[in-house]
Chains A and B, each alone.
Chain A
Amino acid sequence: MTIKVLGPGCMNCKTLAGRALEAVQQLGINARVEKVEDIQAIASYGILRTPGLVIDEHVVSSGMVPKVEEIKALILKQSGNVSR
C-alpha cells in the first residue's frame, strides 16, 4: 500500500504526513508514506486544497488534517475496497 501526502511543505502538510505515518505504525501494516511536493504532480490529482491524502492513488481527503484515528479508518476502508 502506498500513502501519499500532497502538499508543497506547509505546516498542515507536515502534520498530516506525521499522522499518516503514525496511523500506519499503529495498524502495523506494510505501507509506504510518501510526500508529494511537486506542484504539477499535486495538481494532477485534482485537489483544490492542500494538504491532500492519497491512498493507493485514491484521493481520500483534501483541505484538512484528519486525526490519526480517522486516517486509520480511511486506510482500512481503502484496503477493504481493494481486497474485495
Chain B
Amino acid sequence: MNFKPTWRAVFFVAAWVIVYLALDPATSSLVSLLPLPSGSKLTEAIRFFLYEAPKVLLLLTIVVFVVGIIRSYFSPERTRQILGKRSLFLGNILASMLGIVTPFCSCSAVPLFIGFVETGIPLGVTFSFLIAAPMINEVAVVLLFGLFGWKTALIYVVTGLAIAISSGFVIGRLRVERFVEDWVYAVKSRNLTLDSNPTRDDRVHAGFDAVRDIVSKVWLYVLIGIGVGAGVHGYVPENFLAGIMGKSAWWSVPVSVLIGVPLYSNAAGIIPIVHALLEKGASLGTALAFMMSVIGLSLPETIILRKVLKLPLIFIFVGVVATGITIVGYLFNFIY
C-alpha cells in the first residue's frame, strides 16, 4: 500500500493550519512596520488589502482542495443515475443539491442536458441541476465566508438552493418539452462505460489538481477584486450608494437583476465588488440579487443552451430564474 499522496495531504493541511494561525500576527506586525501615517485613507486601504487578500486566498486553497476530494466521489454520470427515477419535486431538490457537488463547467451544459434528457430525467429536474451547478460553488461560498462571515455564506447557499429547486419545479410544471430542439430527442448515444474506480491516492490527486486548476485561474481576480474593494473602502464615502442601491429604492432589486443577467463573471471576480457595494450602503438583498444574476445567468450560457432549447424556452428559463432571484432580493431587503 502506498501512503505517499495521503501523507502529502496530511502535510499540506498541517502546513495550512500553521500558516493560517500565523497570518494575523504576521500581517499586524507587517502593517506596523510600514511607514504609513495612521488614520489616513491610504493606510486604511492598504491595511484592508493586506489583511483580506492572504486570508481569502488561504481559505480558497483549503476549500478547493477539500471540494476537489469530495467531487471525486461524484460525477455527472452518477448524478444522472441517481436522478433517473425521481419524481418532480423530490427530483428538483436532489438535482439542486447534486448540482453543488457534481463537477460541472458551463461549457459542458449541452452534452449534459442531452445526456439527462435521453435517460428520461424530467426537464424540470434537469433545469434545477443546471441552475444550481454554476450558481452555488465553492469559490462563491469561500469568498462570502471570508469577507462577510458564515451567516451570509449560509444565506447564499440556502436561497440559491431554493431558487434552483423552485425554478426547476415551475419549469417542469409548464410542460415545455415541445420547446426543446427536436433532434435532442432523436439522439441515440452509445452506452458509455467509462469505468473509473478512483483509489484514495487518486482522490488526493484530484484535490491537488483542483487547487492547481482553480486557484491558478482565480487568484488574480480575487486580488483585483479585493484591490477594488480596498480602494472603495478607503476612498468612497460610506452610504454613497444608499440612495440608488439601498432599501429605500424599491426599483434597485429588479434593476440590479436586469444589469446582472447578461453580465458574466466568476464568483471570484464579482464577490469583492459586492463587498464594496455593501460597505457603501447597498442593501443585502440588492447586492445578493446582483451577484446571483451575474454568476447564475449569463449571455454566453444562454447562447450555448440555445443549441438545444428553442427561443421560448430560453426566455422561460431566464425569466423564471430572474424572477426567483428578484423575489429573494426583496425578501432580504424586507427582513434586514
Contact = CB atoms under 8 A, between A and B. Distances in A.
A49 B187 CA distance: 16
A43 B192 contact: no
Which of under 10, 10 to 19, 20 to 34, or 35 or more describes the interface residues of B?
A: 20 to 34
Nearest to A9: B107
A23 to B, nearest CB: 19
A61 B194 contact: yes
A50 B191 contact: no
A62 interface: yes
Contacts of B3: none
B187 A50 contact: no
Contacts of A62: 192, 194
B103 to A, nearest CB: 7
A45 B80 contact: no
A53 to B, nearest CB: 11
Nearest to A52: B111
Nearest to B188: A44
A46 interface: yes
Contact of B111 (A11, A12, A43, A61): A43
A48 B183 contact: no
Contact of B190 (A12, A45, A61): A45
A10 B110 CA distance: 12
B107 A48 contact: no
Contacts of B104: 49
A25 to B, nearest CB: 25
Interface residues of A, number: 21
B114 interface: yes
A40 B183 CA distance: 8
B213 to A, nearest CB: 10
B103 A63 contact: yes
B112 A48 contact: yes
B167 to A, nearest CB: 22
A33 interface: no
Nearest to B115: A48
Interface in B151-197: 183-184, 187-192, 194
A59 B112 contact: no
B24 interface: no
B105 interface: yes
A59 B192 contact: yes
Interface of B: 75-77, 80, 103-105, 107-108, 110-112, 114-115, 183-184, 187-192, 194, 304, 307-308
15 contacts: A8-B110, A10-B107, A39-B111, A39-B308, A42-B111, A43-B189, A46-B192, A47-B111, A48-B111, A49-B76, A50-B107, A59-B194, A61-B194, A63-B76, A63-B103
Interface of A: 7-8, 10-12, 39-40, 42-50, 59-63
